[in-house]
Amino acid sequence: MQEAFVNINEIPTHVMTWGKWIEESFADHEREVVICITGNPGLPGFYTQFLSTLHNNLDAKTPVWVIGHAGHDEPSASSVRKVPPLSGNESKFELNAQLKHKIEFIETYVPAHVKIHLIGHSIGAWMILQLLKESRIKDRLQKCYLLFPTVERMAVSPNGVVFTKLVLPVFFAVRMLAKFVNCLPISLRVLMISAYFWITSTPRFFLGTTLKYLRPTILDCVVHLAKEEMERVTDLEVDIVQDNVDLLKFYYGTTDGWVPVKYYDEIKVRVPGIDAELDEFRISHSFVLREAVPMGEIVADWIKRYSVKAS
Q: How far apart are CA 47 and CA 206, in angstroms?
A: 9
What's the Cα-to-Cα distance from 138 to each of 52, 118, 143, 246, 305, rounded to whole Å?
26, 10, 10, 12, 20
Query: In terms of C-beta density within 10 A (0-12 exposed, 13-18 middle, 19 or more buried), how is residue 64 classed?
Result: buried
Helix or strand or coil: residue 145?
strand
Whether the bond into 149 is cis, omega within 30 of 0: no
Q: How far apart are CA 212 and CA 157, in angstroms?
A: 28
What residues are paired with 145 via a beta bridge? 119, 249
CB under 8 Å to 67, separation ≥6 — which residues? 8, 13, 14, 15, 35, 36, 37, 38, 44, 101, 102, 105
Q: How far apart are CA 108 and CA 35, in angstroms?
A: 13
- Residue among 292, 311, 244 nearest 56 (CA): 292
Task: Note if 72 is an active site residue.
Answer: no
Task: Note if 285 is an active site residue.
Answer: yes
Which of 69, 117, 220, 256 is the catalytic position? 256
Which of 122, 157, 284, 307 is the catalytic position? 122
Which of 101, 279, 285, 307 is the catalytic position? 285
Q: Judge contact between 238 and 273, C-beta under 8 A.
A: no
Q: Judge contact between 155 and 230, C-beta under 8 A.
A: yes
Task: Note if 87 is an active site residue.
Answer: no
Catalytic residue annotation: 122, 256, 285
